């Protein structure tokens, strides 16, 4: 055994949020048009000149049709926030295609020619970085785990200085490392209908204490039968709790 002591740096996480105005990005406009559509990553790997990743899309049939048309177009860049188009090579493979979901493998070449969030962070931190991402509505949210005390402000300033028109950046939080990927493992099993009910419940204050709306109120807002809303809420909550206990406790 090596007699030298090993220094373990503090592991921290931060979250960047890219927001896109209407018309600023063709892919994000698809998410703006379809409330049921979301995209999250289960794996993102970045090298000096390549990025490869697995993404999971959820949505109704029409939303996924629009998503396929834009996301799988290898003539445009899905990651770039500095330019609309660039000449780097891209390869997309649909690994799983279902009525309400897709799993897509992406390989990008020459990432320094087309700026993305991982490109800038790799340049600053270099080693030990882990990424997660999620797209919904007008937001492209990046969660980053890294060792040590690298100045996040420098990364933020570097990214912000390269944003094209119609794209803005915010720093959501900087904290010690939390429980990574538990949420994504849970939500990957939800149907778009479950997501719709949960999003309505949160936005209308169903989970506030005291509750601001009832199940009947949610049913009226969603124009669905009360029994349907109740069933979807209960099955979603049961799945969240059971998987959380099984995977995190």
CATH number of the CATH domain containing 190:
1.10.10
Q: In the prediction, which pLDDT does 105 show?
A: 94
- Could you read off the pLDDT of 156-196 as tens digits, one per residue? 888 888 888 999 999 876 655 555 554 454 555 567 788 78
Interatomic CA distance for residues 81 and 89, integer angstroms: 17
Q: Which two tokens stand for residue 50?
A: 């390549």
Nearest to 130 by CA among 46, 197, 6, 226: 46
Is residue 40 domain-shared with residue 77, that is, in the same domain?
yes
Give the residue-averaged pLDDT of 193-222: 88
3-state secondary structure of 12: strand
Q: In the prediction, which pLDDT does 193 show?
A: 81
Is residue 162 domain-shared with residue 208, that is, in the same domain?
no
Q: In the prediction, which pLDDT does 195 show?
A: 77
Interatomic CA distance for residues 126 and 147, integer angstroms: 10
| DSSP code per residue over 26-64 | HHHHHHHH-TT-EEEEEEEEE-SSEEEEEEEEE--HHHH
Whether the Cβ atoms of residue 117 and residue 198 lie closer than 8 Å to each other? no
- Could you read off the pLDDT of 7-24 as tens digits, one per residue? 546 777 888 899 999 999
Of 161, 178, 195, the residue at which a domain comes to its end is 178
> Which residues, in sequence order, are CB contacts of 98 under 8 Å at separation 6+?
none
Q: Would you say residue 145 lies in a domain?
A: yes
Q: In the prediction, which pLDDT does 85 show?
A: 66
- Could you read off the pLDDT of 49-107 as tens digits, one per residue? 788 889 999 888 899 999 999 999 988 888 888 766 676 778 899 999 988 889 999 98
Nearest to 52 by CA among 128, 104, 94, 13: 104
Token look-up 């980053």 returns: 144
Whether the Cβ atoms of residue 36 and residue 195 lie closer than 8 Å to each other? yes
Q: Would you say residue 2 lies in a domain?
A: no
Q: Which domain holds residue 100?
A: 11-178
pTM of the model: 0.69
Is residue 149 domain-shared with residue 97, that is, in the same domain?
yes
Is residue 101 domain-shared with residue 73, that is, in the same domain?
yes
Whether the Cβ atoms of residue 240 and residue 233 lie closer than 8 Å to each other? no
Interatomic CA distance for residues 193 and 60, integer angstroms: 9
3-state secondary structure of 65: helix
Q: Would you say residue 21 lies in a domain?
A: yes
Q: Would you say residue 58 lies in a domain?
A: yes
- In which band, very low, low, confident or very high, does the pLDDT at 1 lie, cut at 50, 70 and 90? very low
Is residue 122 domain-shared with residue 202, that is, in the same domain?
no
- Could you read off the pLDDT of 212-235 as tens digits, one per residue? 999 999 999 999 999 999 999 998
Least-confidence region, from 93-107, 144-158, 197-211: 144-158
Q: Would you say residue 65 lies in a domain?
A: yes
Is residue 30 domain-shared with residue 144, that is, in the same domain?
yes
3-state secondary structure of 95: strand
Q: What is the 3-state secondary structure (H, E, C) of 117-178?
A: HHHHHHHHHCCCCEEEEEEECCEEEEEEEEECCCCHHHHHHHHHCCCCCCEEEEEEEEEECC
């Amino acid at each position: 055994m090596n007699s030298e002591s090993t220094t373990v740096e503090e592991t921290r996480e931060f979250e960047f949020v890219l927001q896109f105005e209407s018309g600023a990005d063709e892919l994000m406009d698809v998410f703006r048009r379809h409330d049921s559509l979301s995209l999250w990553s289960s794996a993102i790997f970045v090298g000096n000149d390549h990025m490869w990743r697995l993404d999971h899309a959820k949505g109704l049939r029409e939303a996924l049709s629009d998503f396929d048309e834009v996301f799988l177009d290898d003539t445009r860049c899905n990651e770039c926030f500095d330019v609309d188009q660039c000449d780097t090579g891209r390869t997309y493979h649909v690994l799983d295609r279902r009525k309400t979901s897709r799993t897509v493998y992406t390989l990008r070449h020459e990432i320094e020619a087309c700026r993305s969030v991982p490109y800038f962070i790799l340049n600053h931190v270099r080693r030990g970085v882990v990424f997660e991402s999620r797209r919904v509505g007008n937001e492209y949210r990046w969660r980053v785990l890294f060792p040590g005390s690298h100045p996040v402000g420098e990364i933020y300033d570097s990214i912000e200085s390269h944003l094209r028109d119609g794209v803005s950046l915010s720093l959501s939080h900087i904290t010690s490392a939390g429980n990574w990927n538990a949420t994504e493992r849970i939500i990957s099993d939800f149907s778009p209908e479950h997501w719709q009910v949960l999003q309505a419940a949160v936005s209308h204050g169903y989970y506030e204490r005291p509750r601001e709306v009832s199940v009947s109120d949610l049913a009226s807002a969603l124009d669905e039968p009360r029994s349907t809303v109740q069933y979807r809420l209960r099955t979603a909550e049961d799945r969240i709790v059971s998987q959380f206990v099984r995977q995190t406790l």
